[in-house]
Structure 1
């Protein structure tokens, strides 16, 4: 499985992988890349079915998405990396910390769905809608969950969502519909920073806050006056947290 990725920063620096939200590609990390690249070799990638990555026919599983990242590390001959993921990317990060612990140095999981299988029908319904009508059918509703009304700089993000392949988006919805990461949280050994947004309607903070007591040694940050795509809307708050945890 070939994942598209973009590398920034010194080639001999510690590696940080950036895993994006459902419906997004690596360009969503524009507010973080230059800051992180001053200290790290930053690899921002597109999940399968997203951006310029390959789009195999679905459904996918969270294991598929996680193994894609392991394969990317193998291809780049990287033994270990830190990982920062938001939303779907955060779920992939938790899976990696559980199932490929030797490959993950530090983990930042931002607004991660930890048990989306609990609302499986929501995900399978959305997959069916996007396969039938494309991502334009869910674009406005998605932006309404990603950002608070006062954040208006959403044009690039909306276009990114519209450009997302319908099959890739739908198949990743199906991956979420079968994902429950809760049972193995206790086995995570990497240092973990959990970030949730106070007004996140997609992955409500009450589903993220309890994870901090289930992951050994995890640190929790709650971002006030923010919705789901907090990395894009609040980089002034998020970037210092990332630098402090990844150092």
Structure 2
């Protein structure tokens, strides 16, 4: 693993795939780290220089005082690209990573080649959803993170997948229990405050939206809303819950690759 120095700490990242290939940035969901993309790495690295990173407040990256904003997290991505001297890249983000992708598409489209946002929405939840969670995490700390981990299995995966793949489901949900309570709460604030419903028309880069038909966290209606408000955007839906990249695996990877390689 490697890191770049930001103004207020380090951002952890990893590069895989052939040097000189087009860069594909992968952005993790709330409560996970860059390894949530492990199922995609072999297929993606065959075509792209894959840049994975731990979003601020997650994994081995910096934890600073919150709440954060999606703009702040988007600017972290731009700082990472600048530090690595990457002028343009593809970007694929899931859930919170999809919010970061929307911000980049609206405000920094000149840095993007193509954009994929997965299992996300232009607005995710509201104060009534996020504020009690933030309060609980900051009050109960590690105990709250363990409780969130135990509750996340049924939100992140369909029952059939979790029962058939218990080790994989545990690997992913254990990331949540290991996330910094301060970092998690700060990122919850970023998701709470993000609302791109009135700005989606400003995204001009080629866009693919992916949803999970069984996703109760960000239902397909949110993904279709994004697709309908961005000219030329494509839409794909898989039988999956919230972490469709993990649950669907190879078909998810193929759909992303086909979109990125299209002319």
TM-score normalized with structure 1 length: 0.96
Contact 2:130 / 2:189 at 8 angstroms: preserved in 1?
yes
Name the structure 2 match of 1:144. Answer: 154
Is residue 179 of structure 2 the alignment partner of residue 164 of structure 1?
A: yes
CA-CA distance at 1:155 after TM superposition: 1.4
* 3-state SS of paired residue (1:53): coil
* 3-state SS of paired residue (1:150): helix
Give the RMSD, CA atoms, in angstroms.
1.0
What aligned pairs does 1:178-217 form with structure 2 within 5 A after superposition? Answer: 178-217=193-232
Name the structure 1 match of 2:3. Answer: none
Is residue 257 of structure 2 the alignment partner of residue 243 of structure 1?
A: yes
CA-CA distance at 1:151 after TM superposition: 1.4
Contact 2:24 / 2:51 at 8 angstroms: preserved in 1?
yes
CA distance in 2, matches of 1:204, 1:128: 25
Name the structure 2 match of 1:124. Answer: 131
Is residue 108 of structure 2 the alignment partner of residue 94 of structure 1?
A: no
CA-CA distance at 1:113 after TM superposition: 2.8
Is residue 46 of structure 2 the alignment partner of residue 38 of structure 1?
A: yes
CA distance in 1, matches of 2:188, 2:259: 30
Larger CA deviation: 125-134 vs 71-80? 125-134
What aligned pairs does 1:57-68 form with structure 2 within 5 A after superposition? Answer: 57-68=65-76
* 3-state SS of paired residue (2:176): helix
* 3-state SS of paired residue (1:222): strand
CA distance in 2, matches of 1:214, 1:122: 25
**Among candidates 236, 256, 259, match of residue 221 of structure 1:** 236
Contact 1:3 / 1:47 at 8 angstroms: preserved in 2?
yes
CA distance in 1, matches of 2:88, 2:222: 29
What aligned pairs does 1:65-80 form with structure 2 within 5 A after superposition? Answer: 65-80=73-88
CA distance in 2, matches of 1:210, 1:61: 22
The aligned length equals 245
CA-CA distance at 1:3 after TM superposition: 1.4
CA distance in 1, matches of 2:157, 2:109: 33
